Amino acid sequence: MSPREDAVLSTMQDVPLLISRILTHGSTVHGTSQVISWTGEGEPERRSFAEIGARSAQLAHALREDLGVTDGERAATFMWNNSVHVEAYFAIPAMGAVLHTLNLRLPPEQLAWIVNHAADRVVIVNGSLIPLLAPLLAKLPTVEHIVVSGPGDRTPLEGAHARVHEYEDLIAGKPTTYDWPELDERQAAAMCYTSGTTGDPKGVVFSHRSIYLHSMQVNMTQSMGLTDQDTSLVVVPQFHVNAWGLPHATFMTGVNMLMPDRFLQPAPLAEMIESQRPTHAAAVPTIWQGLLAELTAKPRDVSSLTQVTIGGSACPPALMAAFDELGMRVCHAWGMTETSPLGTVSRPPAEAVGTEREFEYRLTQGRFPTSVEARLTGPGGERLPWDGESAGELEVRGPWIAGAYYNGQDAEPLRPADKFSEDGWLKTGDVGTISADGFLTLTDRAKDVIKSGGEWISSVDLENALMSHPDVTEAAVVAVPDEKWGERPLATVVLKEGSTADFTSLRAFLADEGKIAKWQLPERWTIIESVPKTSVGKFDKKVLRRRYAEGDLDVTKL
Amino acid sequence: MSPREDAVLSTMQDVPLLISRILTHGSTVHGTSQVISWTGEGEPERRSFAEIGARSAQLAHALREDLGVTDGERAATFMWNNSVHVEAYFAIPAMGAVLHTLNLRLPPEQLAWIVNHAADRVVIVNGSLIPLLAPLLAKLPTVEHIVVSGPGDRTPLEGAHARVHEYEDLIAGKPTTYDWPELDERQAAAMCYTSGTTGDPKGVVFSHRSIYLHSMQVNMTQSMGLTDQDTSLVVVPQFHVNAWGLPHATFMTGVNMLMPDRFLQPAPLAEMIESQRPTHAAAVPTIWQGLLAELTAKPRDVSSLTQVTIGGSACPPALMAAFDELGMRVCHAWGMTETSPLGTVSRPPAEAVGTEREFEYRLTQGRFPTSVEARLTGPGGERLPWDGESAGELEVRGPWIAGAYYNGQDAEPLRPADKFSEDGWLKTGDVGTISADGFLTLTDRAKDVIKSGGEWISSVDLENALMSHPDVTEAAVVAVPDEKWGERPLATVVLKEGSTADFTSLRAFLADEGKIAKWQLPERWTIIESVPKTSVGKFDKKVLRRRYAEGDLDVTKL
């Protein structure tokens, strides 16, 4: 944007879009809405939005006055989803500091690297996570204060160079209101590092403006579309792209939140659903796969839950159909840390509703909202049409899309050429098609696509087809070098216990009914025990490629 | 807002919120959605959003290349609600000019004053409105081009100093795409003058930013909450605060629009509803009153219409109940030109849904959204609590709320002290209460409130109570001077034909069941033939006060 010097300005008020505004609104107009946090025993903890507003003000006072946190400084959280984490979500940015959510599933070295890169001064930690944090502390010289919330043994923190505080003691007696500052809406509000599979983690810094606009979008009818009559079970972690924006969005409309804390196993999730009766839930597919198995083994009354938002990776069609049977309507969403994350939501268009095409639309990644512009770039850099056929790398642009990565205080942001186009669009690294009516279908990660003889083979299409075989539990397909074709697919398959399926029959299954074109069928096959996963539960194909390269897989060539 | 020099900036893209973005999105992603314009004969005209996108680009080319409209210049519309008016809505701001919607119900002198004040260079006019525009032209020296669309005799325009063009000829053959400029989002996009009852009309200038944010809000679940499965009957005129934001909001989500053009009488509206089956409609109460009478006299299948947004003035409870009976759910909204207009929407809170209190909540003006901050100021300038009891003047603040009035090109904006507080909030001139959960109940206009012995009497409460009497068609209550109390209420009543009700019985009706406190009961009564109305259909109490002052009313004192 190059503002015009001679632009005729409007007579509208110049009011910034700030997170403090969302907090003030939610804790007054929707003051009776609740955050319900699972504790694992007895009744869950219930805090009204009004209480959370008051406690957020107390936390801001404590951070500023007791811990000396000043404008723009980073205060980190190392926490599960719970009401105290929601307080940190609001207090830290609203007072002018930067919330840094730490992904507690990252390897210790990566975590230390990230805390040091962000120069976090404060870490708020759940007591139950002290065993993960304490061993790192010696490597975190910038951390001056540890604030502990909730049950858990504190002794591992003894002897740390940082001062240790109890969250409840710290905020006790502080004023329950705070004169939130009038900030620039483009100021940093929160940051989150991507768990990149190559190179160092990359910091994405969200602004007050980007979070505010994103929250409005989440509440638009064709996104999650919840109201204050809903309760959302927020399984997606708060350390994972702001829990898809739910903590902010719910404070705009009074949606109740049900927070699972550390109880993310299928059994307690089923128990939460039965007892607290949420109407909506948000999580990655692996969680739902587990929940489905649990509900099959031990049926529960989960009838309250009618809407499920699935993101992070594509929902297998069989899983979507199974949830339909249970009366839970799955809605796909696509996004990434760099997109805040809401990129697309798969609400079928009016003309498909009630027709055979409805399910097809639901299987796509979904439709772009107004604020997310999209384009496809082909292998040669050419722009591809929105015809539902031409596959290219997805590039996006918009007010809640990253245009750079954080490079440390006072340093110029990073804009690597493989991540950002010359004209500032984000290169998502995802390959897919866009239909004329703006529905995105992703077929692959750019790095996972198999380049065979100048054509692209989608590893994901092969995986989905394989996983629809009754004997296949999981399957991952990776590109391996091939003398004749450049690359060819290698199918790695996890079979159900006791299965007698062999590679020839699996290959025939893929070819059957035109599921997969003949030239795309894998020649190379191997059985593995389980597909390696990244810290956020995605297939880690980098590991499979490495194991193949190192001769560590027993490959059969048909 | 005073931007901080040292603020830590985020790594988000800096993408402006522009009307061109809404157009591009609507005409691609929602390209098959439709604008259906009533023509009064045969099938209505249907244009897809894709066609409107193409024709808007053609219009922009014509305005820029043929008529020489440059950045920031005003192009006016003098039109009914129809698809061509929607094209003007998008083309004019998207190309960088300013859309000026002219209220065709204003008296000719006011219209001329407004066109001259805005210095409109172009007026797009519906052929059917030439008889209203032509007589004014001699007084409009800035208007160089008249563009005519739709049926109607052109001869009254002969001899005008302005050049006259046919809309369809002007855009024919122009390119169907336009390289929309990247503007500053705070640049002027559209303007609308308030039909002030005192002084000159006042120009409100909306920005791209304010319209974009407002459109997102309209699409949020707790506002109008429509999807692409809906068709909205847009009765509220496009010259009246951007038709409450519907033309912009619908292009964000693909909601179809049904446009009544000049056919605003109850019979054609009923016919439109029956034949086109809209699911939603938006209009002021007088329209609904007429429609209800029509449907009672001649029942039609209006079952598609389940949601009705009523604004402009309060919906009488009896009317709301009558529409409930018809299966049409009335939702109140409050706003004004200065608030874009969405200020509140009366969606009852979750805890009231399904209870006796639900209807009470629906009768309030509704709840403030996140982006509209509200406060009440008492008669002495003091801040009043949100307790549902303390009545004060409503003041609001937000990114789509006016902070000044237009004062002509290159002049400083007007900020009259009776309209804007020292700290920049809009003084709405409305008096009411706000409940703890943010629901606004308006009781009066500040200028209509009756100041009796240091207390306020609500004229609206008296009117509503009177209008609930079976013999009363309409009633308006105004303050008149009183020696003892300062001011006292005068009740002016329109009785049903053949009614034998007298003032004593009406007064007893008001006192009955504690409807109205005894000290608030009017002593002065008069029968009138009809309540005088302003150009937008509101009670014009100024006229009644003048008629009383001039001794023109036959007043009985009880």
Q: What was the pLDDT predicted at B19?
A: 98
The residue of chain B nearest to residue A12, with distances taken between CA atoms, is B402
Q: What was the pLDDT predicted at A550?
A: 93
Amino acid at A553: L
Q: What are phi and psi of B534, to 5 degrees?
A: -80, 175
Mean pLDDT of B280-303: 92
How far is C-alpha A104 from the geometric centre of its chain's CA atoms?
14
A280: closest CA among A340, A244, A339, A232? A232
Instruction: Name the average pLDDT for chain A.
Output: 93
Enumerate the domain spans of chain A: 13-34+44-209, 372-447, 448-557
Cα of A556 to nearest chain B Cα, Å = 46
pLDDT at B1 over 60: no
Q: What was the pLDDT predicted at A1?
A: 40
**Tally of CB atoms within 10 A around B84:** 27
Cα distance between residue B491 and residue B479, in whole Å: 9
Please list, in sequence order, all residues whose beta carbon lies within 8 angstroms of the beta carbon of residue A310, skipping any fewer than 6 positions away.
A282, A283, A284, A285, A288, A330, A331, A332, A333
CATH class of B365-444: mainly beta
Asked if residues A528 and A553 have their Cβ atoms less than 8 Å apart, the reply is yes
Q: What was the pLDDT predicted at B2?
A: 44
Q: What was the pLDDT predicted at A453?
A: 79
Cα of B441 to nearest chain A Cα, Å = 14
| Peptide bond just before A399 cis, omega within 30 deg | no
Fold for the domain defined by A448-557: GMP Synthetase; Chain A, domain 3 (3.30.300)
DSSP category for residue A81: B
Q: What single string gives the DSSP state of each residue in B384-408?
A: E-SSSS--EEEEEESTTSBSSBB-S
The residue of chain A nearest to residue B396, with distances taken between CA atoms, is A13
Mean pLDDT of B463-476: 92
| Peptide bond just before A379 cis, omega within 30 deg | no
The residue of chain A nearest to residue B231, with distances taken between CA atoms, is A350
Asked if residues B20 and B180 have their Cβ atoms less than 8 Å apart, the reply is yes
DSSP category for residue B113: H
Find the range with the poorest average confidence among A358-367, B452-461, B479-488: B452-461
pLDDT band at A378 (very low <50, low <70, confident <90, very high): confident
CATH for B14-31+45-207 is 3.40.50.12780
Contacts of B437 in chain A (CB under 8 A): 28-32
A positions 200-219 inside 8 Å of B (CB): 203-207, 209-210, 213, 216-217, 219
Q: What was the pLDDT predicted at B452?
A: 84
Q: What are phi and psi of B467, to 5 degrees?
A: -70, -10
CB–CB of A31 and B436 under 8 A?
Answer: yes
B285: closest CA among B213, B363, B351, B178? B363
pLDDT tens string A43-79: 999 999 999 999 999 999 999 999 999 999 999 999 9
Find the range with the poorest average confidence among A340-354, B269-283, B536-550: B536-550
The residue of chain A nearest to residue B50, with distances taken between CA atoms, is A437
CB–CB of B398 and A205 under 8 A?
Answer: no
Cα of A136 to nearest chain B Cα, Å = 27
- Residue of higher predicted confidence among A338 and A456: A338
Cα distance between residue A183 and residue B379, in whole Å: 32
CATH class of A372-447: mainly beta
Let me know if B412 is a catalytic residue.
no
A228 Cβ under 8 Å from any chain B Cβ: yes
Report residue B275 as tokens.
């034949």
Q: What was the pLDDT predicted at B447?
A: 83
pLDDT tens string A152-197: 999 999 999 999 999 999 999 999 999 999 999 999 999 999 976 5
Topology agreement, domain B365-444 and domain B448-557: no
DSSP category for residue A30: T
First vs last Cα of chain A: how many Å apart? 56
Let me know if B197 is a catalytic residue.
no
Q: What was the pLDDT predicted at A313?
A: 77
pLDDT at B543 over 80: yes
Considering the segment(s) A13-34+44-209 as one domain, its CATH architecture is: 3-Layer(aba) Sandwich (3.40)
Let me know if B427 is a catalytic residue.
no
- Percent of chain B predicted with pLDDT > 70: 98
Let me know if A557 is a catalytic residue.
no
Between chain A and chain B, the number of residue pairs with CB atoms below 8 A apart is 271
Cα of B480 to nearest chain A Cα, Å = 36
Q: What was the pLDDT predicted at B552?
A: 92
Cα distance between residue A464 and residue A318, in whole Å: 10
pLDDT at B49 over 50: yes
A237: closest CA among A228, A229, A245? A245
